[in-house]
Amino acid sequence: MITATIPATRLDWRLAPAAVAVWLATLLGLLVAWWLATAIGALASVIGLWVLCGRRGPRDPPGRWLRLGVGVSLLACGCAAAVGTTVRLREAAHDPLRSPAARGASGAFRVELTERPRPVVSPGFGGRQGGVQAVVLPARMRHAPVDGRAVPSDGEVLLIAPVDGWSRLLPGQDVEVQAVLAPAKPGGLTVAVLRVRGPPHVLSEPAVWQRVAQVLRSGLRETSGVLDLEAAGLLPALVVGDTDTVPRHVIEQFRVAGMAHLLAVSGANLAIVCVAVLLLLRAVRVGPRGSAVGAGLALVGFVVLAGPEPSVLRAGVMGGVGLLALAIGRERAALPALSAAVILLVLHDPDMAVSFGFALSTLATAGLVLLAPRWADALAGHGVPRGVAEALAVPAAAHLVTAPVVAGMSGRVSMIAVLANLLAAPVVPLATVLGVLAAVLAPVAPWLAEPLVRLAGPEVSWLLLVASNAARVPGAAIDWPSGWWGGLLLLAIIVVLLVALRRRRTRVIIELGLTAVLVVVIPVRVIAPGWPPPGWAMVACDVGQGDAVVLATAEPGRAVVVDTGPEPGPVDDCLDRLGVDSVPLVVLSHLHADHIGGLAAVLAGRAVGAVAVGRARVPDWAWREVFGDASRAGVPVVQLARGQRLAWPGLAIDVLGPGPAEVVPRAGADGTEINNGSLVIRALTPAGRVLLTGDIELAAQADLLTARADLSADVLKVPHHGSRYSAPEFLDATRARIAVVSVGAGNRYGHPSPVTLGALVRRGAQVLRTDTNGDTAIIPTRTGPGAVSRGPP
């Protein structure tokens, strides 16, 4: 073999330049202009010819083999990129369907689905329920009649469709849809977006193996129901990447902890399954060839189970690379295998070149097979036990090489990821293997699958515990510029640090700097952080287009929460920043999605006394959601009414409305009626009187004025996100010095209204907005309440 002549201490770089050339040509061809693929491919071919024909170069056999490999691979792959990739990119760029999409044409289209439906999670607002209301389905156009004629297109399209009727479709099915065309996002092969409004008209059935895989996945999801809610959702995600039933606050915790990769199928999943099969076959004395065949069959079976979509195929190739490196000799065999995988995948599917998932898989695999062994050897050379050294090196290498991509993708850098993944790693293989076995057995022997799921329960619960606690660590994730420039900035910093660490003098300086951070900066951030300000009495959390207010008691870590915003993540983060772990009462002013969406996150991991609501029980879905979340957490639901007073040390709450004579919103009530049914409460705090108004509009404000309720307050939470429905008489009655508007940046509702803001300013109020000021705290001062803002994210 050619590689036999290369010393084991040297890396085999022969395919690496070709892989970089193919990836770069496709990347720039998609992001900038299709002809760049031709230019870069041609340049790579010329360089390959120069390497092959050049007279200068190494004369020793290993050097000649290296030059031959580099030259041939660059020449061949450059031609493939310049011709094959360019043709596909040009066809997509000039697809005839782009013109009808630009003008918003509509029609009945026939498409072939290429991937499983992916859920789209959206925050709720008003009476519109949050969560998964739509799915996206990549497909290929088969027949496109527009304006009475067929458009000759077989390009890739993206369907955005309702959940009902679409969520259970499978790849390979032909479907006819009534849809409106829209332009596709640039930077990919997708030529148009189809906005679907009705149910699908299914024209063909999926392949048998697709149906079998769906039955297995459904069986795992149903069998996992024997576990607690969070664990039942996490196990299918861990095994086959099925996140449909994972609570949103759990997904957010995994992201902050740097463990989100566990929620998607990756090369690690396949490697775990294949290694388990290898170990089992070797234990029963099956030979190397038989073991390899068995592991290969397991790999194919797992790909079928998870679904042979681009992300899974990518994971299969990357998992195969890891196994090959494990079997043949780690880094010397891994680099050409990884390079070949990149070349084949990008040439097969050019969209891989701009996929964050592809970049993460490639970089993580490279880090694991190239950096981790070297770092483990270095640690072992300094006296660290081999097992501990490898356990530290693997997550550190994976996190380091993927950090720039994650930062560019999410706008944050996890500072706790290495430790969190180190704690999670021991249980992942066992949970994965047990989950796969349960999925295989669930349709035929559920009585055997259930014990396997229960055995996986402690491992899954451990992962939940690690993610939850890691996400709560102060400074667990820091904000970072998102997009390409943010990723490149972090990459440059990492490269500079790695180069500097190779020099003894700079290494000492860096070590001293890190020591200072550990000894001084982190304790200061934890013990005396910049947020929240000392003595805070109230905080309006920046939760986007919704409300979430926290009222402090005199007991540290204990606070009352009024409304929970539209999503779990923001209110959970806000409470974590405030150090709130005990909530004697959660008050939901009314049952609109932007006020109840984060309830599950508030209830998770905190001691909650009760959930309080008004008399209204509409919308019906919202009441079921609130009651269900509270019941699962073992928290009672109580009803508040005008005239009640609730008190804790340092805090008292008076319920001012709605009154008993006011009409209770019932089934079929519109948004205005539900808004006017909001609880109105006045909080007595060390900073003064705080009036919390929910979303009351003109009618409810008039009722309060008619009833001569004492509306005077030092701080006003402006009704309904600062909408124009605030009566001047109501604002006059409050006489507030500070007005806080809880509103989402760039919302489509026109909130806050310039009319309302102007009215508040003319009355002498200091106006603060969560969309521009971020979390906003009210603190006591010598002259009355003061305001401190955390700043926008």
> 778 and 715 in contact (C-beta within 8 Å)?
yes
Per-10-residue mean pLDDT of the chain, 793 residues long, equals 36 84 94 93 92 66 72 92 93 94 93 90 73 88 88 93 90 94 93 93 91 91 90 92 83 85 78 83 78 80 78 69 56 72 90 84 79 84 82 81 83 84 89 93 92 95 91 77 80 79 68 60 50 94 96 96 93 92 96 94 92 92 94 94 95 89 68 92 97 95 92 96 95 96 92 95 95 95 92 73
Neighbours of 160 (CB within 10 A): 18
- Which residue reads 């200061």 in tokens? 524
Tell me which long-range contacts 183-187 makes (C-beta under 8 A, separation of at least 24): 183/98, 183/101, 183/102, 184/98, 184/101, 184/157, 184/158, 187/30, 187/31, 187/354
> 138 and 107 in contact (C-beta within 8 Å)?
no
Please give the full DSSP string across 302-362, using - where no structure is assigned: HHHHH--SHHHHHHHHHHHHHHHHHHHTTHHHHHHHHHHHHHHHHHH-GGGGG-HHHHHHH
Rounded Cα distance between 69 and 17, Å, is 10
Burial of 367 (0-12, 13-18, 19+ CB in 10 A): buried
Structure tokens at 417: 């990821």
Positive or negative, the Cα torsion across 34, 36, 40, 41?
A: positive
Structure tokens at 393: 């090196």
Helix, coil or strand: residue 784: strand
Query: What pLDDT does residue 252 have?
Result: 81
Q: Count CA within 13 A, CB hemisphere, residue 610.
A: 8
Query: What pLDDT does residue 230 have?
Result: 87
Which amino acid belongs to residue 235? L
Residues with Cβ within 8 Å of 162's Cβ and at least 6 positions away in sequence, in order, are: 133, 134, 135, 196, 197, 199
Rounded Cα distance between 393 and 209, Å, is 39
Please give the full DSSP string across 74-143, using - where no structure is assigned: HHHHHHHIIIIIHHHHHHHHT-TTHHHHHTT-EEEEEEEE-S--EEEEE--BTTB--EEEEEEEEEEEEE
> 609 and 581 in contact (C-beta within 8 Å)?
no
Identify the bridge partners of residue 611 per DSSP, sorted by sequence position: 586, 637
R_g of the chain, CA atoms, integer Å: 30
Helix, coil or strand: residue 502: coil
547: phi then psi, degrees, rounded to nearest 5: -120, 140
Q: Is the bond preceding residue 780 a cis peptide, omega within 30 degrees? A: no
Total residue length of the chain: 793
> 598 and 548 in contact (C-beta within 8 Å)?
yes
Query: What pLDDT does residue 524 have?
Result: 47
Rounded Cα distance between 714 and 789, Å, is 17
* Longest Cα–Cα distance in the chain: 98
Structure tokens at 520: 């001084």
Which amino acid belongs to residue 216? L
Identify the bridge partners of residue 683 per DSSP, sorted by sequence position: 653, 690
Please give the full DSSP string across 592-655, using - where no structure is assigned: -HHHHTTHHHHHTTSEE--EEE-S---SHHHHHHHHHHHHHHT--EEE--TT-EEEETTEEEEE
Residue closest to 715 by CA, chosen among 505, 510, 551, 526: 551
Positive or negative, the Cα torsion across 610, 133, 414, 368?
A: positive
Rounded Cα distance between 414 and 524, Å, is 19
> 760 and 753 in contact (C-beta within 8 Å)?
no
Query: What pLDDT does residue 624 have?
Result: 94
Identify the bridge partners of residue 787 per DSSP, sorted by sequence position: 778
Identify the bridge partners of residue 780 per DSSP, sorted by sequence position: 785
Neighbours of 729 (CB within 10 A): 11
Residue closest to 590 by CA, chosen among 694, 471, 667: 694
- Report the predicted TM-score, pTM, of the whole model to 2 decimal places: 0.78
Torsion angle in degrees (nearest 10) through CA of 601, 604, 608, 613: 40
